[in-house]
Amino acid sequence: MSRTSSSGCAAVPPSSYPRLVSIAPVAPPVRVRTRAIPDPGRLIELLPDERGPLCWVRGTEGLVGWGEVARFNTRGPDRFEAADAWWRSFSSRLEVIDEVGLPGSGAVAFVSFAFDPNSDESVLVVPQVVVGSRDGVGWITEIEAGHGTVNRMPSVRRVAPIRRATGVRYSEGLLSVERWRRAVAEAVRRMRRGDLFKAVFAHDLLATADEPLDPRFLLTGLAERYPTCWSYSVDGLVGATPELLLRRTGTQVSSRVLAGTNWLGGLSGSDADELGPALLASGKDREEHRYAMESLVDRLRPLCAEIHAPAEPSVLRLPNVTHLSSDITATLDPADPPSLLRLAGAVHPTAAVGGTPTEPALRLIAELEGMDRGRYAGPVGWLDARGDGELGVALRCALLSGSTARLFAGCGVVADSDPDTEVAEAAAKLVAVRSALEGRPL
């Protein structure tokens, strides 16, 4: 099937996907060229096939990529620093022609970090081709690790049809619903005893289809259902997050903190309109949100010249859930602005995905949750060679492998939490991925 984008902009053909797995200098030099193109249209529709699609899209803006020029895997408590050092080393060897000069143009790495430092899943992937759109400007970046010129964008390219998931069925994940409920109940008991204030517990669900899953099907379904969220795909992790951990543009930093949730539960019309006011009036949810916001501000403050946080949260309403939300802005020291990955290493995990105080909460999660979350609730997104980029919190996601998908959801637990209510909240959050995976409306 031959096609161009909806705007008539031609796209790029699949390639042989060269891969460099060493951080040793590449010879001959890696050549990178970015040039402006007409409106690329729906970015996700440009992904040529199901082989490792890379994506960070919100509405009509963002980045998609394919092919693999290089990758870097890391683990341990210094994984952010190691990734930052590798990316600086790699990008310093590039021969770059950037005719656009916007955040996300030039060489880009898509990143996905494990929640826990002991997991070995943190990864950076440098794609061969990136198509981006921002502020009405479209561009394409192409990389060639070898002799010759960078391939020009041809008039037509072939896109493999997206395969719909069929025969999707579910089974218990590593942590059953009943075990998860008991973990929440025990956490509440310890919080009421005064051991800590908050912990965020994850729950997983296994989905199996009749045939290998096409990541583009889930990605497209999530983007259509949640256009105000950031839809992402990095190394098999596909999701749509409403929570922006960090955005860095020069010396400007912003973040969207979410904590405190209510859900429709069959409500509609005027009843559904009451969810926001009820959430704002909830002492339990306000407390949970305060912990999350304060933890981010406290960790950013030493790295910033100034920081601004709202006095009161607002309400973010999505099709399946409603959240308390706070947008935080900060300015970095222009003399020595930390990179996006250095900032991420300083703030992860915030109380929104870990707890308060951090170390006791993480110990409690490890004890009671008892499973490896992998990259769920870790930072996910992209960064460019200038150190700019966007990282979300990997929520509302699934890890795809062949015909199986491991779905994740989590809930913040405080002393006033009710275990049965938390079970219902996790189920409501799983609806986002389940409905997209099955191709059905919410």
Positions marked catalytic: 198, 243
* Rounded (10°) angle between helices 419-438 and 215-225: 110
Beta partners for 207? 170, 405
Pairing of strands 304-308, 321-332: antiparallel
Backbone angles phi, psi at 59, to 5 degrees: 65, -125
The string of DSSP codes covering 397-413 is EEEEETTEEEEEEEEEE
d(CA 380, CA 165): 24
- Token pair recorded at residue 23: 């951080």
DSSP state of 303: G
* Rounded (10°) angle between helices 419-438 and 177-193: 140
Query: Residues near 320 by Cβ (< 8 Å), separated by ≥ 6?
Result: 263, 264, 428, 429, 431, 432, 442
Pairing of strands 169-172, 314-317: unpaired
d(CA 354, CA 363): 10
Do residues 348 and 299 touch, judged by C-beta distance below 8 A? no
Give alpha helix (H) positions in 232-385: 269-273, 275-280, 283-300, 340-347, 358-368
CA distances from 199 to 14, 66, 323, 358 (A): 44, 37, 17, 8
**What's the number of CA atoms in the CB half-sphere (13 Å) around residue 221?**
26
d(CA 380, CA 110): 8
Chain CA centroid to CA 383, Å: 12
135 backbone φψ class: left, alpha, beta (φ>0; ψ -120 to 50):
left
- Secondary structure of residue 4 in the 3-state scheme: coil
d(CA 223, CA 229): 8
